[in-house]
Amino acid sequence: MDIAEAEVAPASALLRRVLAGIPSGENPVTHLTTLPVRPPRHQDWPEWVPDDVVSALRKSGVARPFSHQVEAAEHAWHGRHVVISTGTASGKSLGYQLPVLSTLTTRSRSTALYLSPTKALANDQLRSVTDLGLRRVRATACDGDTPIPERDWARDHANLIFSNPDMLHHAMLSAHQRWARFFRQLDYVVVDECHSFRGVFGSHVAVLLRRLRRVAAYYGASPTFVLASATTADPATFAQRLTGTECVAVTEDGSGRGARTVVLWEPPLLTEITGENGAPVRRSAGAEASRILADLVIEGARSLAFVTSRRGAELTAAGTRRVLADVDPELPERVAAYRAGFLPEERRELEAKLLSGELLGVASTNALELGIDIAGLDAVVLAGYPGTLASFWQQAGRAGRSTQDALVVFVARDNPLDTYLVHHPDAVLDRPVEAAVLDPANPYVLGPQLACAAAELPLRAEELASFGGDAAREVLATLVDDKLLRRRASGWYWTSRQRPHAQVGIRGGGNDQVMIVEAETSRVLGTVDSAAACATVHQGAVYLHQGASFVVDELDLDAGIALVHAENPEWSTSARDVTDIEVLETTSRQVFGDVTVCLGQVAVTSQVVGYLRRLPSGEVIDQVPLDLPERTLRTRAVWYTISDELLSGRLLSGREPGGAGLTSARIPGSLHAAEHAAIGLLPLFATCDRWDIGGVSTALHADTGEATVFVHDGHPGGAGFADRGHAALVPWLAATREAIVSCECPAGCPSCVQSPKCGNGNEPLDKAGAVAVLDTVLGEVRADLPV
């Protein structure tokens, strides 16, 4: 829904107001640009859409469909799998609603399944279909919260089910015989927000959709897939990886868009406080967002600030209210924080208040990003890069007015990726949105998934091609050795009466989970992977859950339990560890003069030895020792090695004079700093979070015999991140170098080479040495690459 236009100043005036309070001499704006208006392109309703569907949609406010909606609907109606990849609030839903509703209202037994990553989004979509009031559409939601009688009704009577991958896995496929009626005439499968199916979760969903196609085929159905995605690079290839079948892409966005002024903003380095090892720190993005939001509220602009953590959103709203209280006692009431865990009614109420202007400023986490029905705001503030360009534009897309331009301010956080982005506007404004990374052939995903598939229906040899071919064959052999499956002439059979589905978690992480329990109430707050438990829920760790803060009293790894109590200390904690990495298998090895680049399997052994307590300003309070066991992670890594001669500069490579010119004392800090920054920048190329990856650097590694920098996936078996880094090595390391050089700190800070998750307390780090290392590696690799 678009908000009514109000008398609010143009973006330039809003920005002037925001900048008015900045001390002279400071200039936080690194770039400013205006994105032009795009007029809408409409088309006629396709002639195959029944009259009652057209009139219901017209009544709901759609006078005529946009061109991309018709294009996608035509493909789906004619049985071609299709992915719609257009901007936020461009009305992608109509693209699937047209073929699905037309089919359901004209074919009596036809059914359709809608899947989305969140329940909130599925419920919103259900509501918009139900509101159409079409007599022959029997739509319902079916998720983990659906009571059994309603689930039974859905199974026996519904022809349109709004659900999620978890439900499909745990209920629908595991007991498919009971859902035979639904699968028999399954004509459409809709996968909404499909770009969010990435990493380990995305890899699970990819195999799950192959299982769905297989079960549907068993009942004689061959559903058409309609996928909706944020704008991404090469959506057709991604959709094919996700569904296992060829998809047409619709990317020409026919919806109109107002003009927007986009401002990139870097908070200044603070002089009064210092962080780890005396490094300078910047004013926090959250504090900066509070001030900006307050100025926007004073101007009467309806504004949304996106903050990356739940607590950050609360703090930003509180900070904004504090500033406003000094200006006008009425204004603080018009600012709210959007909390995760809101009920749908609460969320809709907040939306309505923001649209009506009763609320002027809302600070939110990314929770708001999916499933909120708001566009056309006067201003959006992004406090920190949300991790992907798709999310960036999804958040920025909430701003946009029809009569004058809206304001978007991107405030950098104190980390290398944000630093790089505010100094390289083209990487934000002109770069195609990254393709999502997933790897359905990951044996840690494929193993449990194939066990489920075999339990659903015996697996036949000719089916293996769709599950990854040789990778599937290897995994099946292991399952047979483990006596989970039996091999017969006709295929692979599940041996137990009990189906494996309940033991297979599709949202990443193995079965090996640690439960986080509030000691006083015995309430289970959540679970963490046991591999991550030592670093995140060790004794003394501050653990955040749905905006509330807890402190861990005890971690019992044998029992798989972490006991916590509610407490909100002013510090956060970060673990310190010692890590060792062993090369298990090298799958690719390229030699470029004195630099070698590899990709392969590694074993990362780490032991958490203590943790740091840190204030929100970045200031470190103290370091507390811990006694925890070693953990080993088998995963994938990309690494490069450099000869001693090249590092020290004794070698003149013949092509380029020089070498890095580093003394042996500087080498460890230089490699370490280069490693940190590379981890910080990999999310630019691999659609991951820097917490999904790790790294190890050493001046002499036992397996390579040379100075080596490793960057590895943080999940067992890998999720494709290291592979992506390997494929994009030159642009990745070039961006890493740029990020370091762009930071004006003298000798390293959180914006360039310091890392909040460094196991070594960010020591040693050599900022200038890191640039020398990266220049040397890039020089050797580029000299050898075919032009």
Which residues of the shown chain bind Zn ion in the complex (CB under 5 A)?
Answer: 743, 745, 749, 751-752, 758, 760
Q: Which CB atom, from 277 or from 760, has the smaller least distance to Zn ion?
A: 760
Closest C-alpha to 734, from 695, 681, 696:
681
Residue 752 Cβ vs Zn ion, minimum distance, rounded to whole Å: 3
Q: Which CB atom, from 531 or from 743, has the smaller least distance to Zn ion?
A: 743
Residue 535 Cβ vs Zn ion, minimum distance, rounded to whole Å: 13
* E strand or H helix that includes residue 561: strand 561-566
Residue 672 Cβ vs Zn ion, minimum distance, rounded to whole Å: 6
Residue 618 Cβ vs Zn ion, minimum distance, rounded to whole Å: 12
CA distance 457 to 452: 9
Q: Which CB atom, from 1 or from 578, has the smaller least distance to Zn ion?
A: 578
Residue 431 Cβ vs Zn ion, minimum distance, rounded to whole Å: 23
CA distance 464 to 457: 13
Render the burial of 368-407: b for 16+ CB within 10 Å, e for the rest: bbbbbebbbbbbbbbbbbbbbbbbbbbbbbbbbbeebbbb
Residue 713 Cβ vs Zn ion, minimum distance, rounded to whole Å: 17
CA distance 578 to 96: 51
Write the CB contacts of 631 (distance below 8 Å, at least 6 apart in sequence): 530, 531, 534, 605, 606, 607
Q: Which CB atom, from 647 or from 743, has the smaller least distance to Zn ion?
A: 743
- Burial level of 741, CB count in 10 A (0-12/13-18/19+)? middle
Q: Which CB atom, from 368 or from 674, has the smaller least distance to Zn ion?
A: 674
Q: Which CB atom, from 212 or from 671, has the smaller least distance to Zn ion?
A: 671
CA dihedral of residues 643, 645, 651, 657 (deg, nearest 10): 70
Q: Which CB atom, from 74 or from 418, has the smaller least distance to Zn ion?
A: 418
According to DSSP, the residues that pair with 554 across neighbouring strands are 563
| Contact present, 696 and 710 (Cβ < 8 Å) | yes
Residue 279 Cβ vs Zn ion, minimum distance, rounded to whole Å: 7
Q: Which CB atom, from 85 or from 697, has the smaller least distance to Zn ion?
A: 697
Q: Which CB atom, from 122 or from 722, has the smaller least distance to Zn ion?
A: 722
Render the burial of 700-711: b for 16+ CB within 10 Å, e for the rest: ebeebebbbbbb
DSSP codes joined into one string, 507-546: SSS-S-EEEEEETTTTEEEEEEEHHHHHHHSSTT-EEEET
Q: Which two tokens stand for residue 101?
A: 């509703």
Residue 387 Cβ vs Zn ion, minimum distance, rounded to whole Å: 21
CA distance 395 to 91: 16
| Whole-Å CA distances, 24 to 20, 32, 760 | 9, 19, 38
Q: Which CB atom, from 597 or from 745, has the smaller least distance to Zn ion?
A: 745
Residue 95 Cβ vs Zn ion, minimum distance, rounded to whole Å: 45
Closest C-alpha to 371, from 338, 401, 408:
338
What does the angle CA 714 – CA 718 – CA 723 come to, to the nearest 5 degrees?
110
CA distance 448 to 482: 12
Q: Which CB atom, from 228 or from 743, has the smaller least distance to Zn ion?
A: 743
| Contact present, 200 and 401 (Cβ < 8 Å) | no
Q: Which CB atom, from 688 or from 743, has the smaller least distance to Zn ion?
A: 743
| Contact present, 597 and 781 (Cβ < 8 Å) | yes
Q: Which two tokens stand for residue 453?
A: 């598939």
CA distance 197 to 232: 13
Residue 748 Cβ vs Zn ion, minimum distance, rounded to whole Å: 6
Q: Which CB atom, from 417 or from 752, has the smaller least distance to Zn ion?
A: 752
Residue 751 Cβ vs Zn ion, minimum distance, rounded to whole Å: 4
Q: Which CB atom, from 293 or from 749, has the smaller least distance to Zn ion?
A: 749
| Whole-Å CA distances, 486 to 101, 177, 323, 479, 531 | 43, 22, 68, 8, 31
Residue 576 Cβ vs Zn ion, minimum distance, rounded to whole Å: 10
Residue 733 Cβ vs Zn ion, minimum distance, rounded to whole Å: 17
Residue 726 Cβ vs Zn ion, minimum distance, rounded to whole Å: 21
Q: Which CB atom, from 53 or from 696, has the smaller least distance to Zn ion?
A: 696
Q: Which CB atom, from 210 or from 672, has the smaller least distance to Zn ion?
A: 672
CA distance 433 to 88: 13
| Whole-Å CA distances, 542 to 567, 568, 570, 573, 608 | 8, 8, 10, 6, 16
* E strand or H helix that includes residue 718: none
Residue 696 Cβ vs Zn ion, minimum distance, rounded to whole Å: 9
| Contact present, 272 and 250 (Cβ < 8 Å) | no
CA distance 112 to 260: 38
Residue 755 Cβ vs Zn ion, minimum distance, rounded to whole Å: 5
Peptide bond into 764 cis (omega under 30): yes
Residue 665 Cβ vs Zn ion, minimum distance, rounded to whole Å: 18
Q: Which CB atom, from 459 or from 743, has the smaller least distance to Zn ion?
A: 743
